[in-house]
A and B are shown apart, each in its own frame.
Chain A
Amino acid sequence: DQQVKQNSPSLSVQEGRISILNCDYTNSMFDYFLWYKKYPAEGPTFLISISSIKDKNEDGRFTVFLNKSAKHLSLHIVPSQPGDSAVYFCAASPNYGGSQGNLIFGKGTKLSVKP
């Protein structure tokens, strides 16, 4: 059973608009969440993270929101740029502050930003 779910396999957005990528999780023990971006034929690259003690974390054009009661997080990209076109993976860990780093990933959402 999937513990991290990204229910939208793809998303298409116009350049300059906001992109909102969603992620749901089932394990209430998860307390650290990350977003990775992946271009074709490359490994994933870290984008932004959030711990469960926060509900928002912002880094430039990227903001992650966490709703613990709903077990839901979202990544907002604004304004979206064509170079943001990639597959975005949500990941979670129950080990914030601990000593184990394995992550549980969703299946990814392919974002296409059209000029």
Chain B
Amino acid sequence: GAGVSQSPSNKVTEKGKDVELRCDPISGHTALYWYRQSLGQGLEFLIYFQGNSAPDKSGLPSDRFSAERTGGSVSTLTIQRTQQEDSAVYLCASSLELRVTDTQYFGPGTRLTVL
């Protein structure tokens, strides 16, 4: 079956512009996660959703970052007024339920470059 898909695969933007990243989880997965990987770093957790709700937004790096999930499926991560330090690969993952023992399946990521 289809895995997690993300779009766009690459995004180049100018500093100060807004960007929107999209994640389509595996059908039927109730939990969805956003991570980012900056150059030479590990994966940094950003936010998770259980259904449409995100109970903990403390992992988002700044108030320029927001995320939403509608219909318990597609999620978008929006970065307003992008900065060069936002350049990274943004990864989305989904799992059947919100349990650490449920395998998280990752998408291929969106590579964001802020000039």
A residues bordering B, Cβ < 8 Å?
Answer: 4, 6, 32, 36, 41-46, 49, 89, 91, 93, 95-108
Cβ B42 vs Cβ A4 within 8 A: yes
Chain B residue nearest to A6 in the complex (CB): B42
Which of B42, B105, B106, B108 interacts with A107 by CB under 8 Å?
B42
Interface SS of chain B: loop
How many whole Å from A26's CB to the nearest CB in chain B? Answer: 14
Known A100-B48, A101-B33, A106-B42; contact A46-B100, beta-carbon cutoff 8 A: no
Q: Indicate whether B102 reaches chain A with its CB closer than 8 angstroms.
A: yes
Given contacts A44-B106, A98-B99, A101-B48, 20 further A-B contacts (CB under 8 A): A43-B4, A43-B105, A44-B91, A45-B105, A45-B106, A46-B103, A49-B101, A91-B43, A93-B100, A96-B100, A99-B50, A99-B99, A100-B48, A100-B56, A100-B98, A101-B104, A102-B48, A104-B45, A105-B44, A106-B42
Cβ A101 vs Cβ B100 within 8 A: yes
**How many B residues touch A, CB cutoff 8 Å?**
29
B residues bordering A, Cβ < 8 Å?
Answer: 4, 31, 33, 35, 40-45, 48, 50, 56, 59, 91, 93, 95, 98-109
Which of B40, B42, B91, B100 interacts with A43 by CB under 8 Å?
B91
Which of B40, B99, B108 interacts with A101 by CB under 8 Å?
B99
Cβ A42 vs Cβ B108 within 8 A: yes
